[in-house]
Amino acid sequence: MNAIEKYLQRYAEPESADLANFPSGFNHALVIPAYRETTVIVSRLSELCQRRQHTLVILVLNRHDSDNSAPLWRDAFSTLMAALPLLWSSASLPLNLYELPRQGALLIVDRCDVPIAATSGVGLARKIGNDILCQLIHRGKVKSPWMANTDADARLPAGYFTAQDLADSGDAALIYPFRHVFVDDCPKLPTVLYEYSLHYYVAGLRWAGSPYAYHTIGSTLVVNYRHYCQVRGFPKRPAAEDFYLLNKLRKTGAIRSLDAPVIELEARHSTRVPFGTGPAVSTIDALDDSLEWPLYHPDSFVYLRYFLQLLQLLTAQPVTVTQACKQLQLEPPSAVQLCQLAEALKLQQALDHCYRVGDSADKRLRALQDWFDGFKTLKLIHLLRDQSLGTLNFHQLNGHYKTHPVITSSAALGAAAITIIALNNNP
């Protein structure tokens, strides 16, 4: 039994096993979780199918077990679906396939009557949809090996599926570029500040040389189904499911950040998840001065760069952390801080394991990079924030953006800073 069959038989959600006689002939497919959304999304999906033939969209309607509002918005979807031709229906589960333009189809997965536990949230909703799609790819019903994921607030560009057709099938995942667009009264300055913070963090990781330098936003994510099975799918979490999935996927293959096309994300008030864009924008907007929103100190990424260089030295030759710091020729404060970080993260224990399992510097480094993953990278940044460097708000950071190497490494950050200043001066 290979990894795909093992996953589908042992770990996939029940909906993925109830697909007898499901139609075939789809070129691409897309998964969207929908919680307290409007039926406007169906019109948008119809437009997507008009642009691309033989597209399957899997829409997972869901509600949390603590939320009694679902029947109100779910009924609107039921009314709309009644006007579409029914192509297929499950014999035992609420799975119904409807016809969309140009041989496209919309599979509605209804998890409102049988709600999702609040502790599982959007992670389980995504897992249900992706498990279904994984099964359909495995059975040859969908041709593309890429499992596209997005959200109801995303506007997918022309060329969205073309980028997947041109991608390296050996990659574990693809990440589309994105920008926020405004459609209602969502505050602009807080939204742009939050978007800046996302780009700032990834730019810092990239400058430092981290192999985990990519955005972790479910709206922009496409996953290779083989790698998806290797890591046992989306984690059942109420938030950050995209972060943890990508953290596992990076250990199985490359995460490719695409240059184009750009996905537009509608900026809107939202409390659908406990953290993320919606709650962050609300928090920033509640500040007396939005520019007081804290950001990681740019020196955090300097230390991260040193730490990654330290890993390379330690896996190349059996020396102590202190000896390796001396080889890096760091100034005493930096060397002391680096040793403290190594101790807090239990680097020596991880290093000992790498020497036991790796008979070459390359193998040891690969194993140590798997250990020092995206989660531990964030933990290092937080240790620096909490124990020594603190944070800088945008007022303070703006004074660095023309000089600090982390910030000047990204032209996009400079352009975003100008936009923020303009919005602040002309709200």
Percent of residues, the chain, with pLDDT higher than 70: 96
- What's the CA gap between 313 and 16, in Å, rounded? 46
Interstrand relation of 104-116 and 95-100 (parallel, antiparallel or unpaired):
antiparallel
CA distance 348 to 108: 50
Verify that 103 and 222 share a domain, yes or no: yes
Q: Is 209 within a domain?
A: no
Residue-wise pLDDT for 206-248, tens only, equals 999 999 999 999 999 999 999 999 999 999 999 999 999 999 9
Q: Give the residue ranges of the chain where pLDDT is below 70.
A: 70, 184, 268-276, 400-402, 427
C-alpha gyration radius of the chain: 23
Copy the structure tokens of residue 202. Answer: 């990834």
Same domain, yes or no: 22 and 170: yes
Residues 248 and 65: their CA atoms lie apart, in Å, by 28
Say if 246 falls within a structural domain.
yes
232 and 363 in a single domain? The answer is no
- Please give the residue range of the domain that contains residue 233: 3-183+215-271
DSSP H or E stretch at residue 147:
strand 146-149
Identify whether 118 is part of a domain. yes
pLDDT at residue number 409: 79
412, part of any domain: no
Residue with tokens 């992670």: 123
Neighbours of 265 (CB within 10 A): 21
Domain total of the chain: 2
Looking at the structure, do residues 362 and 258 belong to the same domain, yes or no? no
Residue 280 lies in a domain: no
Q: How far is CA 283 from the centre of its chain?
A: 21
Are residues 152 and 15 located together in one domain of the fold?
A: yes
Residue 281 lies in a domain: no
Give just the sign of the alpha carbon dihedral 225, 229, 231, 233. positive
What per-residue confidence (pLDDT) applies to 371? 97
Instruction: Indicate if 266 and 326 belong to the same structural domain.
Output: no
- Supply the pLDDT for residue 272: 55
Same domain assignment for residues 99 and 232? yes
pLDDT for the residue 269: 60
Residue 193 included in any domain = no
pLDDT tens across 161-172, in order?
Answer: 999 999 998 999
Q: Which helix (H) or strand (E) holds 312?
A: helix 299-316
State the residue for tokens 């869901």: 62
Q: How far apart are CA 293 and CA 16, in angstroms?
A: 43
Residue given tokens 């016809």 in the structure block: 99
User: What residue spans of 64-144 are helical by DSSP H?
Assistant: 70-81, 121-138
Let me know whether 133 and 91 are in one domain. Answer: yes
Token duo for residue 412: 């996009």
Instruction: Give every CB contact of residue 348 below 8 A, 6+ residues apart in sequence.
Output: 321, 342
The answer on 346 and 237 residing in a single domain is no
Sheet of 255-257: strands edge to edge? 86-89, 95-100, 104-116, 55-64, 28-34, 146-149, 221-224, 173-175, 255-257
Q: 228 and 79 in one domain?
A: yes
Helical (H) or strand (E) element with 245: helix 241-249
Q: Does any domain span residue 255?
A: yes
Taking the mean position of all CA atoms in its chain, how far away is CA 8? 23
Distance separating alpha carbons of residues 176 and 255, to the nearest angstrom: 11
What percentage of the chain's residues is helix, strand, coil (to nearest 5)? 50, 15, 35
Assign residue 45 the CATH number of its domain.
Answer: 3.90.550.10
Within this chain, do residues 157 and 11 fall inside the same structural domain, yes or no? yes
Q: How far apart are CA 121 and CA 238, in angstroms?
A: 4
Question: Could you tell me which of 211, 271, 291 has the C-alpha nearest to residue 246?
Answer: 211
Query: Do 267 and 320 belong together in one domain?
Result: no
Q: Are 220 and 175 in contact (CB under 8 A)?
A: yes
* Tokens 């124990």, residue located: 387
